[in-house]
Structure 1
Amino acid sequence: MARAIIADDHPLFRAAMNQALSDTLSSEILEVSSFQQLEQALLTHPQIELVFLDLSMPGNQGLTGLSTLRSQYPDILVVIVSANEDTRVVRQAMALGASGYIPKSVPLPEWKTAVVTVLAGDNWLPASMQDVINQPDKELSAFANQLEQLTPQQFKVLQCIANGLLNKQIAYQLGVQETTIKQHVSAILRKLNCINRTQAGILFKQMLTTPDSFDQPL
């Protein structure tokens, strides 16, 4: 059975990555080209242990995909795969629960080392990025800890708030009563230590956006 999913919208890159990692994982590796396909694959393949997530694939804006996976599937290891080598983005990803960050410039043979390291329970970064772990962002780490306190449904509500939706719209989108959304909002504000929903939405966007994802819906 498949143990891993490569989530990237470039078929040639997926194929090369699949070939490079097939021996290491010793099982079928699934491939998807959008975040929506990834979510569906995770529903139909509950045995998945590892996801390689491209930051810029369709349906994944900034680091919201990573945070969604950490909220919905906390036992799945997520390794970010990206052409973005911005230190701030790497630091964000690791603080938000990524098990590794592999720049697409890294030679494919190194991917095997990364996978073995992650499956062994350790985080992996290329040598050039090790300072990211040694110099953590305290504010970002604090937010990540607060985010972990949210239930999966509360996380969805917070994402809707960040996108500017009203309680009635969120209730319709999630198929629940508006009173339920109000209860979720109150819990979210308490857990994030925010005074109102506007502050919560701004904080969410600030912490989860990357330089190439500003002004796009989360």
Structure 2
Amino acid sequence: MNSPVTVKLLIADDHPLFRAAMCHALQNSEGAVLLEASTFPETKALLAQDTSIDIVFLDLGMPGSEGLNGLSEIRAEYPDVLVVIVTAQDAPGIVQRALALGASGFIPKSASVDCIIDAVDTVLDGETWLPEHISATTDASSTLDDFSTRLSLLTPHQLKVLKMVADGLLNKQIAYELAISESTVKQHVSAVLKKLGVINRTKAGIAFKNAMRTDG
């Protein structure tokens, strides 16, 4: 008799009660192995330690992650890990940007246990899961040419450089922080501008911050 397939799920949320509710909702799923993280650095540490994690349920408001930054980092560094956004914010603009950045689903924190289980099954089947009231007003294909989509073309190093550019760091400071040469930083910046279709680092930084926003 074949043993059930193991599915490793990481619940990344800073609210203990919500993590407990998610664990309760998922504990009876066949083959589910549950992990928990209360901060974004802890989430990344678990992903680095355990390459068998299948899905991350990511709260947008976790400590250490601003807006959609956490989603973009995970998708850039761990492209094989599926990310399902779990949040109280479900404005269409946020949902569209999250989908463009590679989210595999979007679960409101008010979702029922049945909805959460259905979301897991749908995502594991390779499809995107959205609750009915969101999917009725959200067209993921409409964001294919959006700046957020172009962000997915960046390598992990390029994404790190872009974040530092957006924070106002100079090439010399970025080189120091990443322990690389200034010429390498310049190469990364040049590649970033080309991939994002912007003319200078200032516009790249502003566009990045706008894409990461979750206030509408």
Please give the TM-score of this superposition, normalised by the length of structure 2. 0.92
Map 1:179-198 to 2 at 5 A: 179-198=183-202
Equivalent in 35, 41, 46 of residue 41 of structure 1: 46
Within the candidate set 71, 77, 89, 1:72 is matched to 77
| Percent identical residues | 50
In the alignment, the residues of structure 2 paired with residue 168 and residue 132 of structure 1 have an alpha-carbon distance, to the nearest angstrom, of 45
Q: Residue 130 of structure 2: which of 122, 125, 130 is its match?
A: 125
* Structure 2 portions without partners, runs of 5+: 1-5
Q: Secondary structure at the match of 1:111?
A: helix
Contact in 1 for aligned 2:100/2:140 (Cα 8 Å): no
- What pairs with 1:178-217 in structure 2 (closer than 5 Å)? 178-211=182-215
Structure 2 matches for 1:40-189, cutoff 5 A? 40-134=45-139, 136-138=141-143, 141-189=145-193
Which stretch shows the higher mean deviation, 142-151 or 128-137?
128-137
TM-score, normalised via structure 1 length: 0.91
- Could you say if the C-alpha distance between residues 178 and 77 of structure 1 is closer, same or farther in structure 2, counting changes exceeding 3 Å? same
Q: How many angstroms apart in 1 are the aligned matches of 2:146 and 2:32?
A: 37
Matched, 1:4 2:9: yes
The amino acid across from 2:63 in the alignment is P
After alignment, is 126-135 or 95-104 more displaced?
126-135
Residue aligning to 2:23: 18
Q: Distance in 2 between matches of 1:110 and 1:192?
A: 36
Q: Secondary structure at the match of 2:165?
A: helix
Listed one character per residue, the Cα deviations across residues 86-143 of structure 1 (whole Å, up to 9, x for unaligned) are 12111111121100000001112210001000000000000101134437544x7432
Unaligned ranges ≥5, structure 1: 213-218
- Runs of 4+ with deviation above 6 angstroms: none
**Structure-1 separation of matches of 2:186 and 2:211:** 23
Shift of 1:54: 0.1
- 1:134 & 1:67 partners in 2: Cα distance? 20
Contact residue 95 and residue 138 of structure 2 kept, 8 A: no
AA matched with 1:20: A
Distance in 1 (CA, whole Å) between partners of 2:119 and 2:30 is 12
Q: Work out the CA distance in 2 between the residues paired with 1:135 and 1:43.
A: 29
Moved more, 197-206 or 15-24: 15-24
CA RMSD after TM alignment:
1.7
| In 2: Cα distance, 1:157 partner to 1:194 partner | 15
* TM superposition shift of 1:173: 1.1
